[in-house]
Structure 1
Amino acid sequence: MAGEWREQMADGAGAARTPTRGRVFTRGLYVLWTAIRTEPGPFGLAMFGAVLHATVTVGSASVLGYITSEIILPSLRAGDTTAAALWTAAGLLLGVGVLKATGLAFRRLFAGLMQYRMQAHYRRRVSHTFLRLPLAWHHRHPTGQLLSNAGSDVEAAWQPLAPLPMAIGTAYMLVIAAASMLITDLVLALVGFLVFPAIALLNYVYQHRLSPLATRAQALRARVSEVAHESFDGALVVKTLGREDAETERFTAAASRLRDAQIKVGRVRGMFDPVMEALPNLGVLVVLLVGVLRIEGGAMTPGELVQFAFLFTLLAFPIRSFGWILGDLPRAVVGWDRMQAVLTARGSTAYGTARLPAGQAPGGVAVTAEGVTFGYEDGYRDASGADRDGISAGDLGGGPDPGEGGTGPRTTVLHGVDLAIPPGRTVAIVGPTGAGKSTLASLLLRLVDPDSGTLRYDGTDLRELAKGEISRTAALVPQTTFVFDDTVRENIALGAPATDGEIWTALRLAHADAFVRALPDGLDSRLGERGTSLSGGQRQRIALARALVRRPRLLVLDDATSAVDPQVEEHILTGLRRADLAATVVVIAYRRSTIALADEVVYLEGGRVVATGTHDELTERVEGYRRLVTAYQRDEEQRAAEAAAGLRTEPTDVEESEAVA
């Protein structure tokens, strides 16, 4: 089974696929065997309880037969009984009950422990893999899909573990009950065993019908999670644009598809479970009819028939427990496949062993880019190869994620970019929307690797640097800032060994110290989810302080002060130039005031470096640059004029800061 699974994984390039209908059972057994190997202790204790419960349950048939033959029937014939006989019967039944309860407690407790441990273990593995995989992989998989991988997929994969010890224990009970039945009466045993071919046929039909339905339902769960996450994450946009009804309809459509898929699964299970319940009961009726005839013929006694009928009713419970396992296996295999699509995903960032010599460039790190080209993959696939409607590739036929192997269609964003930034310099990257500025920022921090070309710090290829070397050397302040639901101190330190003095220094450089001091608890003030208690400019300055407290040798600001008042922005950038930061600064900028502070300007257009030089030089000789900067300047002047005339009523970031103070 293990070899079969590895062949499938190798064949599919690590992507989840719909379980082949004929292999659901064997693949499901492999998933269960993985759990047994991982948690042998809890499984062994659960099996002890299951075997104890099964043994005592089968033994209770002999107890009932003994009580019937030796106590009940003699009492009925004599019309009287003794206290000793009653105490004997009560003691036997009580002993059986205590032993069964002990076995049941062990079985349920440790089966649940095993299940929850496996869920926790694989949630940690999936989450760790998310953090290990490069940003390019995350570009291909939406957040809602990843939440589903770490949530419902993990839960589905280990759902059969709860009834597993019971099923194995009852299989043992089935064997010893069948042996006891054969010893008690061979003819009745052969009649009763006719139920098993019917069960095998029923299971085959059930697996054939349920597997594709379970696969689709699991993919649609991920789609519902994705839509919900997008709606909640974009609550501000939804509210301000009055899109509540549209988002509700979008979620309703996804939820309705999931509902319909779940109903189809429920219908199949709804037909399967009653038939599984009915077959053993029909068998009991047949056994009783044949048994009465055999009693009349003198082939067996009433006590033996009671014992046999009880043993046969025990067969119904193993059959039902097998039904629970078989019912959960298709969904478990689908959940396992979707987890494995993450856990076996290729694209982890490879690191070298090179270190950047300290003090080689005291004014910052020298950055060079040679022939850098980069493109994003088009389209969307979730980790199971499903499209946005949750339909698996090939209409439930599976198939690799086109993003995993890098073979999908791509949109090239950067074309042969060359840069040479001396240490300690401030360089502004300017260009129209879609020019590739933010992509270049990601490449400079090695959040993604270029398709071709080389990026270097102080002459060392970024791919040759040891793990952690880039994060110790460079810091990025992205245009979309993220603030954690934590204190100001923890949001800025974020695991760095920074003292309060260093944090306040970083806040002063980011011009954030005034509003932080005005908060109720200063550095200990909690900022709320995503920093909802702060303005956009305040969040950007918190993010800037987070980068500055690490004293990077390369600081990349990706439009990181767009929500800050121009005067405050100028103070921040001027302070960065004057401070003893020993940093090279790369600023993705739009405002003329920001660009003017740079030593050099790089103008991007269509993913290519069109020109480099000072602001004045590019204004003179590059028409596109002149139009772009002039347009932004006119917009700023218009905003300033409207504010002076009282036509703009929203507060600036400076006014917000002064109001807080």
Structure 2
Amino acid sequence: MTDRASEDTDEKDVLRRGMRVLAVAIREEPRVFAAAVGASALYGATTVASALALGEVTDRVVVPAFRDGDTTAGALTATFLVVLGIALLKALGIVGRRLWAGIMQYRLQATYRRRVTRQYLRLPLAWHHRHPTGALLSNANADVEAAWYPIAPLPMATGVVVMLVIAAVSMLVTDWALALVGFVIFPAIFVLNIMFQRRQGPLAMRAQELRADVSAIAHESFDGALVVKTLGREDEEAARFEATSRELADANVAVGRVRAVFDPLLEALPSLGVLMVLLAGSVRISHGDLNPGELVQIAYLFTLLAFPVRAIGWLLGDMPRAIVGYDRVRHVLDAEGESVYGDSAADKTGPAGLQARAVRFGYLDGADVLSDVTFDVEPGRTVAVVGPTGSGKSTLVSLLVRLVDPASGEVLLDGTDLRDFRRGGLASAAALVPQQAFLFDDTIRDNITLGLDVSDDDVHEALRIAQADGFVDRLGNGLDTMVGERGTSLSGGQRQRIALARALVRRPRLLVMDDATSAVDPRVEAAILAGLRDGGTGPSTVVVVAYRKATIALADEVVYIEDGKVAGRGPHAELIDTSVGYRRLVNAYERAARDREQAAAAAAALADEDEEVSA
């Protein structure tokens, strides 16, 4: 008894939530919906009219022709014109219904894709860290499509209600007793539809959820292609994707099986009603209580009932999938955590001053990554942030350019809290060059400018400071060279230098580099930092996360981070003498770099010896 009550509640809940989704669609596009329903109503009315016309033609033309053995050209012409007129109006209704329903569906999908994408851009980076990229792609694509999938049959299902009402009234007026015989079939259709929804609903919901899982796994595998290839994990990744894909296929097949059972039954019931009407009508005709034309009219109307019943069934059948899609889309649109902006402008000139005041930040596990971090960076100075792995350096960098906000404390640019700048204000004054340089599948020029209106001379100057002008000039098409997806046609060091040039061409007053030259040669890195100090692209304050001793030595000051706190601060030479942890770390970095150089030299020497032996 409890299970039965639970099923009834679930069914009502699905219907109620599905109606809410459809109500949202109607509110979004009321005029288009009205046009689609009007066209559908025209189709329904003309369909019933065709049944009435068929009955009249039977009584006035067909029966007299068989009885008298003759007919007139006028009767045939009138019949042709009536049938043609109804057919044209019916065709107009079909075209209008499908056209406006399609416009409504695709408009809603486009609107919600834009809303989801804008919300992604508004939400802070911390929110994105909590959600897999594959799932976010599914939200903007598959879930949006699923949410508005029922829009195609919605105007049709709404419009054919007119057809059902007109047909029912027409049958009752023609012969109420015969109509009641046929109407017996309606309770069976209603019960069958309820059973159909109960069986299909959970299966359709599961299938929609699995679509997101497949998208997430596929994106993760593609994004981690380097790891997959280098570790020989192709078979394991293929098996992981195959398992979820098969699960999705099984879910879709289960939905298809339910449809395969119920669709023929829903199609057959109206035909069963037609047979009942014909049987009862034949008896009434034999008793003189009914004309042949009236029987043809009622029987034909019952043959038409299968379509509106199926239209409503299609609408109800798509509701579970639409509910899942819409809920997943609303999860994004209703997400909190959007960055709050003030109205301050960052329109000062010259190098920026940077201050961190008692900054604390932690991730979802609750532990603080940074705690009570306080330091100042004077305008125009270069500061190196140094610390062991996991000390919070990259988190600090994210705070300095407001990719995330501190849990407490504040980060200030020229004395203004970063949260008080207007939208886009900080980006006009500060630039971040991350360690993992991302390049678009575009030309080198467009990857540097990203829509910024700058001359090629400015682009070349930025490339010069980034020590990238030499290899760019050697490329076949120079600035017009396509770099491929994620810059795959370039080396890691080349990608980093293009990313640095992208920041420099904007002439930032604050330049933050998160180990952004780790993939380049130490001599090239030194040349880059020297170019930054010369201010070739405008005076900047530079904060650089570094680990090479040569790089650190070029900085005016070092901020040493350990266990999420500032453990030391001052010139490199001073910290070497006063901070044991700093001295050990920097020397360890230097030893590791020296060991790598010695290993590379030994490998080169061994290769030379092998070549001589071969010769």
TM-score tier, shorter chain, comes to over 0.9
Deviations 1:123-142 (A, max 9, x none): 11111111111111101111
Find out whether 1:567 has 2:520 as its counterpart: no
Alpha-carbon distance in 2 for matches of 1:615, 1:235 = 40
Alignment-derived partner of residue 118 in structure 1: 108
C-alpha deviation, 1:455, in angstroms: 1.0
Alpha-carbon distance in 2 for matches of 1:410, 1:285 = 71
The match for 2:582 among 625, 650, 655 is 625
What is the correspondence of 1:190-205 to structure 2 with a 5 Å cutoff?
A: 190-205=180-195
Deviations 1:468-508 (A, max 9, x none): 11101110000111101111111111122222111111111
Find out whether 1:435 has 2:387 as its counterpart: no
TM-score, normalising length: structure 2: 0.93
Alpha-carbon distance in 1 for matches of 2:519, 2:121 = 29
Find out whether 1:529 has 2:519 as its counterpart: no
**Letter aligned with residue 46 of structure 1:** A
Alignment-derived partner of residue 293 in structure 1: 283
**Letter aligned with residue 567 of structure 1:** R
Alignment-derived partner of residue 429 in structure 2: 473
**Letter aligned with residue 181 of structure 2:** V
Between 274-283 and 57-66, report the one with greater CA deviation.
274-283
- Listed as ranges, the gaps of 5+ residues in structure 2 are 1-8, 608-615
TM-score, normalising length: structure 1: 0.87
The match for 1:607 among 558, 564, 571 is 564
Alignment-derived partner of residue 507 in structure 1: 463
Alpha-carbon distance in 2 for matches of 1:272, 1:315 = 16
Alignment-derived partner of residue 13 in structure 1: none
**Letter aligned with residue 320 of structure 1:** R
C-alpha deviation, 1:114, in angstroms: 1.3
Alpha-carbon distance in 2 for matches of 1:20, 1:126 = 29
Alignment-derived partner of residue 403 in structure 1: none
Find out whether 1:585 has 2:575 as its counterpart: no
C-alpha deviation, 1:339, in angstroms: 0.8
Is the partner of 2:363 in helix, strand or coil?
Answer: strand
Alignment-derived partner of residue 134 in structure 2: 144
Runs of 4+ in 1 over 6 A off after TM superposition: none
What is the correspondence of 1:551-566 to structure 2 with a 5 Å cutoff?
A: 551-566=507-522
Contact in 1 for aligned 2:201/2:317 (Cα 8 Å):
no
Contact in 2 for aligned 1:115/1:162 (Cα 8 Å):
yes
Find out whether 1:415 has 2:359 as its counterpart: no
Find out whether 1:74 has 2:61 as its counterpart: no
Is the partner of 1:165 in helix, strand or coil?
Answer: helix
Contact in 2 for aligned 1:147/1:225 (Cα 8 Å):
yes
Deviations 1:557-591 (A, max 9, x none): 00100111111011001111122532111111111
**Letter aligned with residue 431 of structure 1:** G
Deviations 1:396-422 (A, max 9, x none): xxxxxxxxxxxxx43432122222222
Contact in 1 for aligned 2:512/2:543 (Cα 8 Å):
yes
The match for 1:540 among 487, 496, 499 is 496
Change in Cα spacing, 1:332 to 1:649, as seen in structure 2 (3 Å) is farther
The match for 2:88 among 98, 101, 115 is 98
Alignment-derived partner of residue 332 in structure 1: 322
Alignment-derived partner of residue 476 in structure 2: 520
Alpha-carbon distance in 2 for matches of 1:606, 1:485 = 39
Between 486-495 and 265-274, report the one with greater CA deviation.
265-274
The match for 1:315 among 305, 310, 318 is 305
Contact in 1 for aligned 2:271/2:303 (Cα 8 Å):
yes
Is the partner of 1:520 in helix, strand or coil?
Answer: coil
Alpha-carbon distance in 2 for matches of 1:519, 1:602 = 39
**Letter aligned with residue 331 of structure 1:** R
Alignment-derived partner of residue 395 in structure 1: none
What is the correspondence of 1:26-175 to structure 2 with a 5 Å cutoff?
A: 26-175=16-165
C-alpha deviation, 1:644, in angstroms: 3.2
Is the partner of 1:215 in helix, strand or coil?
Answer: helix
C-alpha deviation, 1:237, in angstroms: 2.1
Contact in 1 for aligned 2:529/2:554 (Cα 8 Å):
yes
Alignment-derived partner of residue 491 in structure 1: 447
Contact in 2 for aligned 1:643/1:649 (Cα 8 Å):
no
Looking at both structures, which has the greater relative contact order when contacts are Cα pairs under 8 Å and sequence separation is at least 6? 1
Alignment-derived partner of residue 4 in structure 2: none
Deviations 1:341-396 (A, max 9, x none): 1111111110111234624xx3x22211122121222xxxxxxxxxxxxxxxxxxx
C-alpha deviation, 1:313, in angstroms: 1.6
Contact in 1 for aligned 2:167/2:301 (Cα 8 Å):
yes
Alpha-carbon distance in 1 for matches of 2:272, 2:189 = 12
Alpha-carbon distance in 2 for matches of 1:322, 1:530 = 48
Contact in 1 for aligned 2:346/2:428 (Cα 8 Å):
no
Contact in 2 for aligned 1:642/1:648 (Cα 8 Å):
no
Deviations 1:530-564 (A, max 9, x none): 11111111110000001011111111100100111
Alignment-derived partner of residue 376 in structure 1: 363
Contact in 2 for aligned 1:454/1:461 (Cα 8 Å):
yes
Contact in 2 for aligned 1:485/1:528 (Cα 8 Å):
yes
Alpha-carbon distance in 2 for matches of 1:420, 1:600 = 10
Alpha-carbon distance in 1 for matches of 2:51, 2:174 = 11
Is the partner of 1:410 in helix, strand or coil?
Answer: coil
Alignment-derived partner of residue 366 in structure 1: 353
Is the partner of 2:441 in helix, strand or coil?
Answer: coil
Alpha-carbon distance in 1 for matches of 2:116, 2:13 = 25
Change in Cα spacing, 1:208 to 1:292, as seen in structure 2 (3 Å) is same
Is the partner of 1:547 in helix, strand or coil?
Answer: helix
**Letter aligned with residue 478 of structure 1:** P
Contact in 1 for aligned 2:557/2:569 (Cα 8 Å):
yes
Is the partner of 1:48 in helix, strand or coil?
Answer: helix
Contact in 2 for aligned 1:366/1:459 (Cα 8 Å):
yes
Is the partner of 1:647 in helix, strand or coil?
Answer: helix
Between 192-201 and 546-555, report the one with greater CA deviation.
192-201
C-alpha deviation, 1:649, in angstroms: 10
Alignment-derived partner of residue 266 in structure 1: 256
**Letter aligned with residue 588 of structure 1:** V
Change in Cα spacing, 1:356 to 1:370, as seen in structure 2 (3 Å) is same
Alignment-derived partner of residue 611 in structure 2: none
Alpha-carbon distance in 2 for matches of 1:443, 1:207 = 51
How many residue pairs were aligned?
Answer: 598
C-alpha deviation, 1:20, in angstroms: 5.4
Alpha-carbon distance in 2 for matches of 1:95, 1:466 = 63
Alpha-carbon distance in 2 for matches of 1:69, 1:21 = 47
**Letter aligned with residue 392 of structure 2:** G
**Letter aligned with residue 631 of structure 1:** A
C-alpha deviation, 1:207, in angstroms: 3.1
Between 574-583 and 480-489, report the one with greater CA deviation.
574-583
Alignment-derived partner of residue 402 in structure 2: 446
Contact in 2 for aligned 1:111/1:165 (Cα 8 Å):
yes
Alpha-carbon distance in 2 for matches of 1:281, 1:609 = 82
**Letter aligned with residue 556 of structure 1:** V
Is the partner of 2:432 in helix, strand or coil?
Answer: strand
Alignment-derived partner of residue 613 in structure 2: none
Alpha-carbon distance in 2 for matches of 1:144, 1:297 = 71
Alignment-derived partner of residue 6 in structure 2: none
Is the partner of 1:418 in helix, strand or coil?
Answer: strand
- Aligned-pair RMSD on alpha carbons? 1.9
Alpha-carbon distance in 1 for matches of 2:189, 2:433 = 63
Deviations 1:306-352 (A, max 9, x none): 10001112221110100110111111121111111111111111011
Is the partner of 1:593 in helix, strand or coil?
Answer: helix
Contact in 1 for aligned 2:385/2:543 (Cα 8 Å):
yes
Alpha-carbon distance in 1 for matches of 2:227, 2:516 = 21
Alpha-carbon distance in 2 for matches of 1:89, 1:585 = 88
Deviations 1:263-298 (A, max 9, x none): 333333333323222221222222222222222222
Is the partner of 2:566 in helix, strand or coil?
Answer: strand
Taking only the aligned residue pairs, the percentage that are identical comes to: 59
Find out whether 1:598 has 2:555 as its counterpart: yes
Alpha-carbon distance in 2 for matches of 1:482, 1:638 = 30
Is the partner of 1:454 in helix, strand or coil?
Answer: strand
Change in Cα spacing, 1:184 to 1:649, as seen in structure 2 (3 Å) is farther
Alignment-derived partner of residue 549 in structure 1: 505
Between 233-242 and 41-50, report the one with greater CA deviation.
41-50
C-alpha deviation, 1:119, in angstroms: 0.8
- Listed as ranges, the gaps of 5+ residues in structure 1 are 1-18, 378-408, 651-661
Contact in 2 for aligned 1:510/1:572 (Cα 8 Å):
yes
